[in-house]
Amino acid sequence: MHTWDALIVGSGPAGLAAALMLGRARRRVLVVDDDLPRNRFAAHMHAVVGFDGAPPADLTARGRAEAERYGVEFRSARVTGVADTTADRDAGLRVTITGGDTLTTRVLIAASGIVDELPAIPGLAEHWGTRVLHCPYCHGWEVRDERLGVLLTSPLGIHQADLVRQWSADLTVFSQGLALDDEARRRLEARGTRIVASPVTALTGAPGPLTGVTLADGTTVPLDALFVAAIPRPRDAYLDALDLPRDDEAPGRPIAADPMGRTAHPRVWIAGNVGSAFANVPLSLGQGSMAGAGANMTLVEDEIRAALGTDAADPTDPATHWEARYAERPAIWSGRVNAALADVVAPLPPGRALDLGCGEGGDAVWLARAGWQVTGLDISPTAVERARHAADGAGVGESTRFVATDLAEVAAFEPADLVLASFLHSTVDLPRTEILRRAAAAVVPGGRLLVIGHAEPPPWAGHYGRHAPMSTPSEDRAALALDPARWEVEIEELRERTATSPDGDAVTLRDGVLLLRRR
């Protein structure tokens, strides 16, 4: 199967900028696009240096022709799924597209944009992009000094109204039931802006020019243009199988990324509106260029390793391996608690908990929120620092303590009511059983040892790369060889969960849960 150096999803400004950067870097690049650009409703672009007033299609056509000169290929299709090609996230990606084709790529840049979700008001969608507008910097000049309105959909609409007033003194804000505090009212009314409380129920004039809006009380307000902040919905569902962390504070909850556009996955970048809902054309062009440069550098590093005669695997020293794993991208895990852990621990009375291999602190933060005093241990200083940051952000910093240490070198662990090891697996040296035995000695009478882990490799592991040693709960119990007179088994079972294979198939994985109580 042919493997692309880079696959770009979307041929808007961000995707084309990334394609141009990578094409000029002599990369084998494929751009996949479903031909549904966000700005297809607008006749002209503005505030784009060199292209002010040009149709968006002109920029697309010119950008595509420029990229093609450097060997970039284009394909009209929709990407339906992305998965790792192996259990190793550094090995590349498998991409499925409409028509059933499967492609492989070394890196992927998601530049697929957003969908603007409009309020369900008759006539709004029909005028979208012509007389129903979202960005005053993009459209304000064309409707200057006309009768303008702002339809509030959230408190952010107040900011939009403040801006739109710059282009016309004839401005009406439709609050749509949104409560305005005294300060917001004063700001608007001080500049002569009218505030209408009765909700807009329809727009008039479609399919011709907009003439006004009809209110719930039956009155009509004449308008020439209406601004509205649509709800941004990132077009990124095809990345769901990668379980990438999201930015919960940003509009639309886009996938989280660093300033270069790199996500928690080492081979996936985002650029343009899919990650920044309010990015205009110039900003999207810049983000695409940055993502293209960042993706190319990852390919360069691949080739340096190959030239040095080393493979892409991490070094075998545990501390080096795990620090490199965490330090290479903004986040490794989702930040959510392991579901099996939550199910098992929820009924237990809170106390002191010791989290072995705490990673970025998802389990520890959940425990602290549930009332536990938690100590998290991990070999990676980067992981420990992220765990501290996550705990502080969740308001449980005083209930948690994180220490960077090699579990294999801890002679005795501090006493705890709950010692837990959640997916404590490693492809490099890890004396797991010895660590768990020493940790069990730290469990106080009446306390518990909880071990959760993969009971067997995923179905695809035999075909793609290596995996860490795995064992069932009964095998873990036998290996620990704890005195049955002092320990009782409360849970020893396999639990099934669904996952997506690298080929995009739904598969069932089995995890083991072992809960032992010290008498």
The domain segmentation of the chain, as residue ranges, is: 3-115+232-307, 119-229, 325-518
Integer angstrom CA distances of residue 383 from 267, 324, 362, 411: 20, 10, 11, 22
d(C-alpha 326, C-alpha 319), whole Å: 11
Select 3-115+232-307's CATH number: 1.10.10.10, 3.50.50.60, 3.20.20.140, 3.30.70.2190: 3.50.50.60
Question: Residue 495 CA to chain centroid, in angstroms?
Answer: 27
- DSSP helix/strand/coil, 498: strand
d(C-alpha 342, C-alpha 332), whole Å: 20
User: Fold identical between 3-115+232-307 and 119-229?
Assistant: yes
* 11: DSSP letter: -
CB-based contact 272:11 (threshold 8 Å): no
Q: What is the pLDDT of residues 265-274, one digit of tens each?
A: 999 999 999 9
**Is residue 120 pLDDT above 70, yes or no?**
yes
Q: Who wins on pLDDT, 167 or 156?
A: 167
**Is residue 38 pLDDT above 70, yes or no?**
yes
CB-based contact 102:503 (threshold 8 Å): yes
pLDDT tier at 466 (50, 70, 90 boundaries)?
A: very low
pLDDT of residue 12: 93
**Is residue 211 pLDDT above 50, yes or no?**
yes
* 242: DSSP letter: G
Q: Give me the CATH topology for the region 325-518.
A: Rossmann fold (3.40.50)
d(C-alpha 438, C-alpha 442), whole Å: 7
Q: What is the pLDDT of residues 244-254, one digit of tens each?
A: 999 888 888 99
- Range in 212-216, 294-298, 502-506, 511-515 the model is least confident about: 502-506
**Is residue 154 pLDDT above 80, yes or no?**
yes
pLDDT of residue 189: 93
Q: What is the pLDDT of residues 73-96, one digit of tens each?
A: 999 999 999 998 876 676 789 999
- For residue 367, give the H/E element and its range: helix 362-369
pLDDT tier at 316 (50, 70, 90 boundaries)?
A: low
Q: What is the pLDDT of residues 358-368, one digit of tens each?
A: 999 999 999 99
Which pairing describes strands 93-97 and 79-84: parallel, antiparallel, or unpaired?
antiparallel
Q: Give me the CATH topology for the region 119-229.
A: FAD/NAD(P)-binding domain (3.50.50)
pLDDT of residue 111: 96
